Amino acid sequence: MVKSKDMTTILLSFLLLLSPSLSGGGAASAAELLTNEVAIHDAPKWLTAARVNKVVQKVQRMLEWDIRKVEVRWHSNESEFAAAHGLPVVRDGTAQILAVSKKSENTIHVGPRVDTTNFDGTFGHELAHVIVYQKYKTAIPVWLEEGLANYSAKNSTVDYKYLSTQPDVDVKAMGHPFGGKGPGPRFHYMASTALMEMIASKCDIHELLQLSVGEKLESYLDTFCGISDLNAEFRRFVKRKAGS
């Protein structure tokens, strides 16, 4: 399945690269943007390789990894994007899905609401997911992955006042943000990002990540970062940040 899909993608890029005239004299504005790390299909005209590279370099530096080629599909149509990611519609209406990475397929799907104002943070976030899969495997706990992705892409704005008004949850049990059983995507993304900021305030993230390769990051929170009770520490951190 995956293989034949990849073949189609490869064939498509091949055709577009070799004979752009096949697309019908510009009727389709589909552009192929190729760098060492990514192949972006149907990229918008405003996107340049230099801009893509800047984002790639930033995330690679932060997570100390050279990305193995990722296929990126840009969807200009909302229903086509929804069909590609297959995630449920968000009930609380506050978290819009902008882009999605399918880690096991090594692909990123970018939706129609990604534009020149939010590309860097959104794309960097998805690249961080790809690196987590390629480099860290299962070392990064689910409750921290969204926060790590935001932190790596410098895509984080945490509303600590909002977090401080939410009921206490066991953050380690948050599960997947769209899993349906957890506290919901808005809380999940914000709490995960706040957890990342909290951990970064206690220990060196680069060293923590280095320790975590092939291991479980969680096992170093106590010994390396001095966080013995994650939930209690999190509640204190949120309260303090909300008050400041």
Applying CB under 5 A, the residues found at the interface with Zn ion are 146, 149
State the minimum distance, in angstroms, from the CB of residue 234 to Zn ion. Answer: 19
In the complex with Zn ion, which residue's Cβ is closer, 149 or 205?
149
Question: What are the tokens at 165?
Answer: 């008004």
In the complex with Zn ion, which residue's Cβ is closer, 149 or 230?
149
How would you write 173-239 as a 3-class SS string?
Answer: HCCCCCCCCCCCHHHHHHHHHHHHHHHHHHCCHHHHHHHHCCCCHHHHHHHCCCCCCHHHHHHHHHH
In the complex with Zn ion, which residue's Cβ is closer, 191 or 233?
191
The answer to whether the CB of 82 falls within 8 A of the CB of 113 is no
φ/ψ bin of 118: left (φ > 0), alpha (ψ from -120 to 50), beta (otherwise): alpha
Listed in sequence order, the residues at least 6 apart from 159 whose beta carbon sits closer than 8 Å to its beta carbon are 190
- Decide: residue 225, CB within 10 A, 0-12 exposed, 13-18 middle, 19+ buried: buried
In the complex with Zn ion, which residue's Cβ is closer, 23 or 106?
106
State the minimum distance, in angstroms, from the CB of residue 187 to Zn ion. Answer: 14
Rounded-to-integer distance, Cα 51 and Cα 42, Å: 16
In the complex with Zn ion, which residue's Cβ is closer, 176 or 202?
176
In the complex with Zn ion, which residue's Cβ is closer, 121 or 233?
121
State the minimum distance, in angstroms, from the CB of residue 24 to Zn ion. Answer: 36
The edge-to-edge listing of strands for the beta sheet with 99-102 is 31-34, 38-43, 70-74, 107-110, 99-102
State the minimum distance, in angstroms, from the CB of residue 235 to Zn ion. Answer: 24
Report helix, strand or coil for 59: helix
